[in-house]
Amino acid sequence: MFGRIFIYAILILFVGYYLLPMIVMISTSLKSAAEIRTGSLISLPREITFDAWGEAWGKACTGAACNGLAPFFWNSIVMAVPAVMISTILGALNGYALTKWRFRGANLLFGLILFGSFIPFQLILLPMSQTLGWLGIAGSTPGLILVHVVYGLSFTTLFFRNYYITIPDDLVKAATIDGAGFFQIFFKIMLPLSTPIVMVTVIWQFTQIWNDFLFGVSFATSTASAPVTVALNNLVNTTTGVKRYNVDMAAAMIAALPTLVIYILAGKYFVRGLTAGSVKG
């Protein structure tokens, strides 16, 4: 009994330690600027106000084409959703072909695809910018979508390939004997069995794409296509006069909210999906 109490006490201590920064951010965002100047930054707000949240969402920056984080927030959604969907379906097709329709050089091809997950972001900035220029989509949202699809394809292929290894080959053989083709087997047999790994891939890709800053600041050359992470950086680093910690904290929470919600709602599916393909058979 004492041992269990001790374990729970340690866990609560660690939970408090990891949640403390977020608690401070939320608390600070709910304070007025006057209260922050006269009180402690880590104290709870004496009077709750959402003015900083409204300013971060709609009045965080100045200029004719900038009205706060709102337009950049939607830029990130328009960029992240298609990139996640495309990279997930392509990764599933790759994993399916590499495991159930094996061909000469399949392992070599998988190794080359997997090599892409070890390439640092900085190494591909110049060739990728040249490619986007040749395609005529540099500095645009479609360009950012292409960048994230290409860079994420190695990860999605790895996830699906390792998961599909655990699915018996007899299912594909039986469907082939019945006359089913490549895509029929994929959409009617493999995808319905892929819910756990699809959840893992979607959560992984969405988190990586939404939180990305380097690609956004490198390839989104206009404010019309800049993601929310770039806007957040501009907000925090271009504040003039008195530092507005409440607005900065509110903007950071707004930018982090989608990934936070996804992990809260689908975190258990993420863990299940990671372990679903860990054992073959």
Q: Domain coordinates of the chain in residue numbers?
A: 2-49, 69-276
Instruction: Report the C-alpha gap between 109 and 187 in whole angstroms.
Output: 23
pLDDT digits (tens, 9 = 90+) for 263-276: 888 777 777 666 66
- Mean pLDDT on 108-136: 85
Instruction: Report the C-alpha gap between 84 and 149 in whole angstroms.
Output: 7
Lowest-pLDDT range, 41-45, 163-167, 168-172, 214-218? 41-45
pLDDT digits (tens, 9 = 90+) for 111-121: 888 887 888 87
User: In the predicted model, is pLDDT for residue 63 greater than 50?
Assistant: no
Contact in structure between 70 and 132 (CB atoms under 8 Å):
no
- The whole-model pTM stands at 0.84
For residue 145, the model assigns a pLDDT of 93
153 confidence band (pLDDT: 50, 70, 90): very high
Helix (H, G, I), strand (E, B) or coil at 213: coil
DSSP secondary structure string for all residues of 161-205: HHHHTTS-HHHHHHHHHTT--HHHHIIIIIGGG-HHHHHHHHHHH
Q: Which CATH architecture has domain 69-276?
A: Orthogonal Bundle (1.10)
- Tell me how many degrees the CA angle 22-77-73 measures, rounded to the nearest 5: 55
